[in-house]
Amino acid sequence: MGSSRPPSTPASKGERTPMSTPGGSSRAKEEKIFVTVRVRPLSRKELAVKDEVAWECTDSQTILYKGPPQDRATPTSYTFDKVFGPACQTDVVYEEGAKDVAMSALTGINATIFAYGQTSSGKTFTMRGVTESAVNDIYRHIDNTPEREFVIKISAMEIYNEIVKDLLRPDSAPLRLLDDPEKGTIVEKLQEEIAKDSQHLRHLISICEEQRQVGETALNDTSSRSHQIIRLTLESRLREVSGCVKSFVANLNFVDLAGSERAAQTHAIGARLKEGCHINRSLLTLTTVIRKLSSEKRSGHIPYRDSKLTRILQLSLGGNARTAIICTMSPALTHVEQSRNTLFFATCAKEVTNTAKVNMVVSDKQLVKHLQTEVARLEAELRTPDRASSSDVLIMEKDRKIKQMEIEIVELRKQRDNAQSELEELRKKGDHQPGWNPFDSPQKARKCLTFSGSLEPSNKIKMRSSIRQSSTAPFVLKHEIRKLEQLQQQLEVEANRAIEVLHKEVQCHKHGNQDAAETIAKLQAEIREMQAVRSENRDVEMITDEGNGSDLKDEISRLHMQDNDIAKLEAKLENVQRSIDRLVMSLPNVAMPCNETTPKSNRSKKKKRMLLPLGVSNNINRANLLRAPCSPHSSSRPSESEVENRAPEGDTVSVEGSEKATPTKSEDGDISSRDETPRYRRSSSVNMKKMQRMFQNAAEENVRNIRAYVTELKERVAKLQYQKQLLVCQVLELESNEGKSNDDLEEDYSGHLQDGPDSWDRLFKEQMQHIIQLWDLCHVSIIHRTQFYLLFRGDRADQIYIEVEVRRLTWLQQHFADVGDASPAACDDPAVSLISSIKALRNEREFLARRMGSRLTDEERERLFIKWQVPLDAKQRKLQLVNKLWTDPNDQVHIEESADLVARLVGFCEGGNISKEMFELNFAVPTSRKPWLVGWQPISNMIREKTQLW
Ligand SMILES: Nc1ncnc2c1ncn2[C@@H]1O[C@H](COP(=O)(O)OP(=O)(O)OP(=O)(O)O)[C@@H](O)[C@H]1O
Residue-wise pLDDT tens digits, 482-515? 777 777 777 777 777 767 766 666 665 555 544 4
* Nearest Cα to Cα of residue 127 among 193, 216, 38, 203: 38
**Buried/exposed 362-382: b ≥16 CB within 10 Å, e otherwise:** eeeeeeeeeeeeeeeeeeeee
- Report the 10 Å Cβ neighbour count for 6: 9
Decide: 696 and 588 in contact? Cβ < 8 Å: yes
Instruction: Output the CA 43–ligand 1 centroid distance in Å.
Output: 8
Q: Are strands 223-224 and 148-160 parallel, antiparallel or unpaired?
A: unpaired
- CA–CA gap between residue 460 and residue 443 (Å, rounded): 18
Quick one: which of 573, 653, 586 has its CA closest to 616? 573
CA–centroid distance, 1 to ligand 1, in Å, is: 22
Asked if 110 and 356 touch (Cβ cutoff 8 Å), the reply is yes
Nearest CA to ligand 1 atom 2: 40
Task: Show the CA angle centred on residue 940, arms to residues 936 and 942, nearest 5°.
Answer: 115
Beta-ladder partners of 276:
none
Ligand 1 contact via 119 beta carbon (within 6 Å): yes
Cβ-based burial of 56 (10 A; exposed 0-12, middle 13-18, buried ≥19)? middle
Q: What is the mean pLDDT of residues 645-656?
A: 34
| Residue 363 among known ligand-binding residues | no
**pLDDT > 90? residue 78:** yes
Is ipTM over 0.90? yes
Residues above pLDDT 70, as percent of the chain:
53
* Ligand 1 contacts CB of residue 342 (under 6 A): no
Closest atom of ligand 1 to 86 CA is: 1
**219 Cα: distance to centroid of ligand 1 (angstroms):** 10
123 assigned ligand-binding residue: yes
Summarised one tens digit per residue, pLDDT across range 367-398 is 777 677 778 877 777 766 555 455 566 667 77
Taking all residues of the chain, what is their mean pLDDT, rounded to a whole number?
69
Annotated binding residue 472: no
Q: Which atom of ligand 1 is nearest to the CA of 214?
A: 27
Residues 49-66 have a mean pLDDT of 92
Q: Are strands 111-117 and 247-256 parallel, antiparallel or unpaired?
A: parallel
Output 256 or 577, whichever has higher pLDDT. Answer: 256
Q: State residue 469's pLDDT score.
A: 36
Q: Which of 213, 219, 220 to mutate to test the pocket of ligand 1 (most atoms within 8 A of CB)?
A: 220
The distance from CA 149 to its chain's CA centroid, rounded to whole angstroms, is: 47
Single out the residue of 950, 718, 753, 940 nearest to residue 831, CA to CA: 940
Which ligand 1 atom sits nearest the alpha carbon of residue 259? 25
Q: Does the beta carbon of 716 sit less than 6 angstroms from any atom of ligand 1?
A: no
Cis status of the peptide bond prior to 457, with omega within 30 of 0: no
Q: Which atom of ligand 1 is nearest to the CA of 220?
A: 26
Nearest residue (CA) to ligand 1, atom 26 = 223
Considering only residues 844 and 557, tell me which one the structure prediction assigns the higher pLDDT.
844
The response to whether residue 117 sits with its C-beta less than 6 Å from ligand 1 reads yes
DSSP 403: H
The pTM for the full model equals 0.43
Q: Is 237 in the pocket of ligand 1 (CB under 6 A)?
A: no
Phi, psi of 658 (to 5 degrees): -90, -5
Per-residue confidence band for 329, with pLDDT thresholds at 50, 70 and 90: very high
| Nearest-angstrom CA–CA distance, 915 and 102 | 92
Q: Which of 125, 131, 212, 325 to mutate to test the pocket of ligand 1 (most atoms within 8 A of CB)?
A: 125
Selection from 354, 348, 294, 293 nearest residue 110 by Cα: 354
How far apart are the CA of 121 and the centre of ligand 1, in A?
5
Looking at 37-41, 471-475, 660-664, which range is the least confident one?
660-664
Does 119 show up as a binding residue in the annotation? yes
Which 3-state string (H, E, C) describes 593-640? Answer: CHHHCCCCCCCCHHHHHHHCCCCCCCHHHHHHCCCCCCCCCCCCCCCH
Let me know: does 713 contact 501? Beta carbons within 8 Å. no
Smallest Cα–Cα separation from 87: which of 46, 43, 41, 37?
41
Phi, psi (deg, nearest 5) at residue 243: -60, -25
Residue 483 Cβ inside 6 Å of ligand 1? The answer reads no
pLDDT for 415 equals 74
Tell me what pLDDT residue 230 has.
95
* Average of per-residue pLDDT across 876-882: 92
Q: Does ligand 1 lie within 6 Å of residue 215's CB atom?
A: no
Beta bridge partners of 83: 37
Exposed/middle/buried for residue 351 (C-beta within 10 Å: 0-12, 13-18, 19+): middle
Q: How far is the CA of 47 from the centre of ligand 1 (A)?
A: 14
**Is 641 flagged in the annotation as binding?**
no
User: Up-side HSE of residue 552: CA atoms within 13 Å toward CB?
Assistant: 21
Q: How far apart are CA 217 and CA 412, in angstroms?
A: 114
Residue 467 has pLDDT above 80, yes or no: no
Mean pLDDT to the nearest integer, 819-830: 47
Q: For residue 127, how far is its CA from the centre of ligand 1 (angstroms)?
A: 10
Q: What is the C-alpha to C-alpha distance for residues 17 and 10, in angstroms, rounded to an integer?
A: 8
Q: Which atom of ligand 1 is closest in space to residue 119's alpha carbon?
A: 25
Q: With a 6 A CB cut-off, is 43 part of the ligand 1 pocket?
A: yes
**Do 888 and 882 contact (CB within 8 A), yes or no?**
no
Is 120 annotated in a binding site? The answer is: yes
Closest CA to 594 of 585, 586, 774: 585
Strand 148-160 and strand 227-238: the pairing is antiparallel
Pairing of strands 322-329, 184-187: unpaired
The answer to whether 117 is annotated as binding is yes
* The pairing of beta strand 111-117 with beta strand 322-329: parallel
CB of 120 closer than 6 A to ligand 1?
A: yes
CA 443 to chain centre: 60
Was 89 annotated as part of a binding site? no
Q: Is 36 in the pocket of ligand 1 (CB under 6 A)?
A: no
Q: What was the pLDDT predicted at 417?
A: 77
Q: For residue 223, how far is its CA from the centre of ligand 1 (angstroms)?
A: 9
Neighbours of 676 (CB within 10 A): 13
Query: What pLDDT does residue 110 have?
Result: 92
Instruction: Report how far ligand 1's centroid is from the alpha carbon of 221 (Å).
Output: 10
**40 in ligand 1 pocket by Cβ < 6 Å?**
yes
Tell me phi and psi for residue 190, to 5 degrees. Answer: -70, 130
- The residue whose CA has the least distance to atom 10 of ligand 1 is 122
C-alpha 61 – ligand 1 centre gap (Å): 22
Q: Which atom of ligand 1 is nearest to the CA of 223?
A: 26
Nearest CA to ligand 1 atom 23: 120
- CA pair distance 387, 825, nearest whole angstrom: 77
110-141: pLDDT as tens digits: 999 999 998 889 999 999 999 999 999 999 99
Least confident of 129-138, 758-767, 894-903: 758-767
Q: Does the CB atom of residue 123 touch ligand 1 within 6 A?
A: yes
What distance in angstroms lies between residue 250's CA and the mean position of ligand 1's atoms? 29
Distance, CA of 756 to CA of 786 (rounded, Å): 28
pLDDT of the residue at 582: 67
Share of residues in the chain with pLDDT > 90 (%): 23
Residue 300: pLDDT band with limits 50, 70, 90: confident
CA distance linking residue 21 with residue 8, whole number of Å:
13
pLDDT digits (tens, 9 = 90+) for 676-735: 333 434 444 445 566 666 656 666 666 666 666 666 666 666 666 666 666 666 666 666
Q: Is the CB of 276 under 6 A from ligand 1?
A: no
Amino acid at 229: I
